[in-house]
Structure formats: C-alpha cells, structure tokens
C-alpha cells in the first residue's frame, strides 16, 4: 500500500511555533510537552493522531472481521478508496497498521462511522491479536485518510478487479456510487477473485447491490477452480475493457500478474489504477531476494537473502549517510525508522514486526523488502 510520508511544508508561523516549543519546553511541539499530562486524563491521547472509539466488532468470516469506528471530531471526510493508519497500544508499545476504509463517505456523513475490514494474517503479530484485544468502547488512534486509489469526480465506465481482502476499498467505492445521485458511469464491472467459495467477503451485500443497480455487474470468480485473472476472463466478463478505467486491488502477486497481462494486451498504463494490499514485503520473502528502499534519498537496492550484510553496511555502501557508532548494538546511534518490512535483529535473535518501528541498523539484517526512512 502506498504509505509515502506526506511532504512537510512548514509555514513561517509553524516554524516559529516549533522553534519556540523547542526553546521553551524542549519538545518539537507544545502538544508534545503536554501529551503525557493529557494522557493522564484522556488515556491514549496523541497530539498527532485522532483518538477514536470502536463501536462494534463484526465477524465477517472465519478469518476476517470488521471494526466499526467512530472517529474523533478532528477526522475530516475521506474519498472512497482511501486508507487510514490505525494505531493501538500493545504491551506498552504503539503499533500501527494501514487499512483501507471499507465503508463509504456517504455512510460516514449519515452515521459518523467508518468501517475497516481486516483479514487475520496467519503468523501475523497484530491482526489476530487485535480482534481479541479490542471490544466495543476500546480506543484506537487514526490518521486522516490518505491514498490516491480513488475514483475521479466523473468517471468513464469502470472495470474493477479485486483479490481477496482487496475488496475493501472497492466496497467503499461501490457503496458510494450506489448512494450518490451524481454522474454515474454507465457500466461498472467487478471481477472478484477469492481462493475458495467461502472467501467472498460481503458476498450477500454485493449481490444485493448488483441486483438493485443495473449499471453494476459483479462476477465472483473462484481462483482455485478458474485460476487468476487472464485474457480469457477479460473476454468472458468484460469484452469492452479497453474502453474502461481499471481499478485493481489485492495481494501483490495478483497485481503484478494482472499488470503484466494487461501490458501484454496493450492496455494504456494511464487507465490502470492499482493498490497493493496487505504486508507486501512479507509476500516477497520467499523469493530469496529483498529490495531495500531508502525513502529519503530515493535509492533502492536489491540483495540476495543469503547475503548477511547489516542494513548499516548496506546503507553505507549506498552513501545514504547513516549515523553510526559502536556497530555492536550498544549505543543506539544508528537508530532509524523502518517504515515497513521485517528485519532480523542479530543481537536479540528475533524478527521484527512488519509496521513502522525504530530499529538499530548495525544489528539488523533485512528479511524481505524493507523501506527505511533514510
């Protein structure tokens, strides 16, 4: 999922306030100074997040659940297809994950609620835990909605391709389309792939939606029987695909395969919109090579997994000027924010979480793709 940090443009006023805060209270902001005091009265309050409440947890299937959240007042509306970052406290540490909003902006305006639908990742640290740790009334922290995977104001005919839990932003889009009287596209086709007949999330709801609206047609495709997206599927379900805008969301192998196929069929790249769903780096871990992206210096390298170089060595080889110190995991000089991906800590001999985290570069070895704030 696209999680690039928003560019920070500071107005002179904001600059002045930040200088004043660093001078008077040794914090980056006055809110940062008062945060621990506010947390005393309002648990889990964060100056940089929107404190929100879970109203319901709904089990969608054996491995999927939806959180119905009432976002705090600061939450602005969003565009169908966008995602939020959800932050909770686990064993004293903040942990964050990105989730697409699976409900529509129209629903939010009517009820003040949003929904995120979460697949339980096998061996995941957060998604299986979250459903047991949260209950109605629990506090979570949100960011404003972000993301470019959205429908244009007035759109052509659409072809949507969803894989598994990649249905979530598309559900939001379809709900929004069926709830607005604004200019609707004439035809919307959704190809919904799932690994078995039991894995079509929101099946009832989607079927009802398709029955109610003649512009919408939905095909549920069981990939175990019919295989992944292919030219045959395109001819069968959406022969006029060349005239449509395409929206693809799903696991990364599916997106990669679909894009390859579309390229072969001479589709115009500018008509294809896509969004990776789920922890992309973990999926690639089996391939034996890992991509390291240094997001600040815009450099990317590929390393083979048998190569046990630490991220500090790799960063130095790329001249991304990391700070270093003892090189043995003691001094924390080389601390760096990992934005995503799994690393192996040679000192504690443990694997990291997939979300963003402070890591010591000198004792961290990448396991699969890693994005560093360097």
Q: Please give the residues from 98 up to 157 whose contact with another protein meets the rule CB under 8 A.
A: none
Residue count at the site for another protein (CB under 8 A)? 40
Q: Please give the residues from 306 up to 345 whose contact with another protein meets the rule CB under 8 A.
A: 321, 323-326, 328, 330-333, 335, 337
Q: Closer CB to another protein, residue 72 or residue 325?
A: 325
93 near another protein, rule: CB under 8 A: yes
Q: Closer CB to another protein, residue 74 or residue 208?
A: 74
Concatenating the DSSP letter of every residue in 234-259 gives HHHH-TTGGGSEEEEEE-HHHHHHHH
Candidate list 84, 95, 194, 221; residue touching another protein; CB under 8 A: 95
- Distance from CA of residue 25 to its chain's centroid? 35
Measured from the Cβ of residue 306, the count of other Cβ atoms closer than 10 Å reads 7
Site map (CB under 8 A) of another protein, residues 44-63, x = contact = --x-x---------------
Q: Closer CB to another protein, residue 37 or residue 136?
A: 37
| Rounded distance between C-alpha atoms, residue 28 and residue 195, angstroms | 48
22 near another protein, rule: CB under 8 A: yes
Shortest distance, position 19 Cβ to another protein, whole Å: 8
Q: Closer CB to another protein, residue 30 or residue 215?
A: 30
Q: Which stretch binds another protein (CB under 8 A): 72-80, 161-169, 188-196, 354-362?
A: 354-362
| In contact, 165 and 98? CB cutoff 8 Å | no
Q: Which stretch binds another protein (CB under 8 A): 8-16, 23-31, 237-245, 249-257?
A: 23-31
Question: Which stretches does DSSP call E strand in the chain?
Answer: 50-61, 64-70, 83-90, 93-100, 114-119, 139-142, 158-163, 188-194, 216-222, 245-250, 272-276, 289-294, 299-304, 335-345, 350-351, 357-360, 364-372
Q: Closer CB to another protein, residue 39 or residue 243?
A: 39
Q: Closer CB to another protein, residue 23 or residue 181?
A: 23
Q: Closer CB to another protein, residue 43 or residue 112?
A: 43
Concatenating the DSSP letter of every residue in 104-164 gives -HHHHHHHS-EEEEEE--TT-SSHHHHHHH--TT-EEEEPPPB-S----SS---EEEEEEG
Shortest distance, position 65 Cβ to another protein, whole Å: 24
H or E segment to which residue 174 belongs: helix 167-179
Q: Which stretch binds another protein (CB under 8 A): 19-27, 78-86, 142-150, 174-182?
A: 19-27
| In contact, 288 and 302? CB cutoff 8 Å | no
Candidate list 102, 295, 360, 364; residue touching another protein; CB under 8 A: 360
261 near another protein, rule: CB under 8 A: no
The CA-atom distances, in angstroms, between 149 and each of 2, 85, 250 are 9, 15, 12
Candidate list 160, 312, 356, 374; residue touching another protein; CB under 8 A: 356
| Rounded distance between C-alpha atoms, residue 344 and residue 314, angstroms | 14
What one-character DSSP code corresponds to residue 278?
S
**Which chain residues interact with another protein by CB under 8 A?**
22-24, 26-28, 32-37, 39-40, 46, 48, 89, 91-96, 321, 323-326, 328, 330-333, 335, 337, 348, 356-358, 360
């Amino acid at each position: 999922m696209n999680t690039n940090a928003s560019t920070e443009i500071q107005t002179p006023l904001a600059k002045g306030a930040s200088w004043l805060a660093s001078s008077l209270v040794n914090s980056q902001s006055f809110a940062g100074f008062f945060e621990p005091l506010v947390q005393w009265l309002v648990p889990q309050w964060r100056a940089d997040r929107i404190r929100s409440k879970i109203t319901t947890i709904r089990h969608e299937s054996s491995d999927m659940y939806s959180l119905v959240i009432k976002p705090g007042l600061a939450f602005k509306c969003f565009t169908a297809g966008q995602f939020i970052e959800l932050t909770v406290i686990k064993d004293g540490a903040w942990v964050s994950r990105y989730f697409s909003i699976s409900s529509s902006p129209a629903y939010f305006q009517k009820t003040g609620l949003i929904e995120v639908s979460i697949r339980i990742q096998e061996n995941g640290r957060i998604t299986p835990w979250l459903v047991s740790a949260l209950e109605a009334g629990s506090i979570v922290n949100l960011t404003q909605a972000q993301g470019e995977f959205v429908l244009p104001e007035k759109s052509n005919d659409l072809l949507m391709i969803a894989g598994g839990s990649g249905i979530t932003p598309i559900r939001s889009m379809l709900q929004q389309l069926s709830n607005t009287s604004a200019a609707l596209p004439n035809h919307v086709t959704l190809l919904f792939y799932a690994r078995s007949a039991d894995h079509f999330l929101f099946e009832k709801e989607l079927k009802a939606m398709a029955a109610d609206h003649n512009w919408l047609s939905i095909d549920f495709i069981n990939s175990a029987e019919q295989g992944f997206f292919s030219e045959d599927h395109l001819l069968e379900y959406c022969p006029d695909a060349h005239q449509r805008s395409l929206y693809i969301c799903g696991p990364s192998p599916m997106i990669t395969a679909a894009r390859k196929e579309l390229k072969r069929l001479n589709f115009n790249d500018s008509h294809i919109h896509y969004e990776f769903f789920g922890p992309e780096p973990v999926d690639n871990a089996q391939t034996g090579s890992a991509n390291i992206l240094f997001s600040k210096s815009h450099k990317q390298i590929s390393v083979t997994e048998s190569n046990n170089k630490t991220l500090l060595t790799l960063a130095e080889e790329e001249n991304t000027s990391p700070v270093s110190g003892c090189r043995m995991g003691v001094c924390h000089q080389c601390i760096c924010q990992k934005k995503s991906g799994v690393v192996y800590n040679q000192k504690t001999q443990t694997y990291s979480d997939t979300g963003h985290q402070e890591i010591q570069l000198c004792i961290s070895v990448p396991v699969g793709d890693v994005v560093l704030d360097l």
